[in-house]
């Protein structure tokens, strides 16, 4: 996997929650350089089909070179996939934007997170 999918120690314990049973993110994989995020890789489909895993979490938007459309869904080849694009935008205390881990005092939508980043 690419370096932009490497999970920092901070994110691993705060967001991915290893060793916490069902709360552990199901997309954690181990590579040659450490823990990696497989959420936006070809492994995602295989992981999502598994029903025998103890880890069941989907704890953040994921790492990697992911671009998003205005509704918050993932863009692929410039087209909106509608993946992770619910009617009511999800709110999280923790987001990963441009491969940077961000934590907020209260849950915010992707748009709110992006707005706070722009305003500093």
Half-sphere exposure of 79 (CA within 13 A, CB side): 2
The rounded distance, in Å, linking the Cα atoms of 19 and 9 is 14
By percentage, how much of the chain surpasses pLDDT 90? 18
Largest CA distance in the chain: 44
- pTM for the model stands at 0.57
pLDDT confidence bin for 67, thresholds 50/70/90: low
> Mean pLDDT score of the chain, rounded to an integer?
79
Residue range 3-44, pLDDT digits in tens = 678 888 888 888 888 989 999 999 999 988 889 999 888 888
Query: Domain limits of the chain?
Result: 3-119
**What is the end-to-end Cα distance of the chain in Å, rounded?**
31
Whole-number pLDDT of residue 65: 60
The rounded distance, in Å, linking the Cα atoms of 37 and 58 is 11
């Amino acid at each position: 996997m690419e370096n932009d999918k490497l999970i920092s120690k901070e994110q691993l314990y705060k967001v991915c929650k290893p060793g916490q049973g069902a709360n552990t993110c199901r997309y954690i994989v181990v590579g040659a350089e450490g823990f990696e995020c497989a959420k936006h890789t070809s492994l995602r489909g295989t992981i999502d089909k598994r029903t025998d895993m103890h880890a069941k979490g989907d704890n953040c938007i994921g790492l990697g070179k992911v671009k998003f459309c205005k509704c918050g869904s993932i863009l692929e080849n410039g087209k909106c996939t509608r993946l992770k694009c619910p009617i009511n935008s999800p709110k999280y205390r923790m987001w990963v934007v441009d491969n940077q881990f961000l934590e907020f005092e209260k849950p915010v939508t992707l748009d709110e997170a992006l707005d706070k980043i722009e305003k500093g």
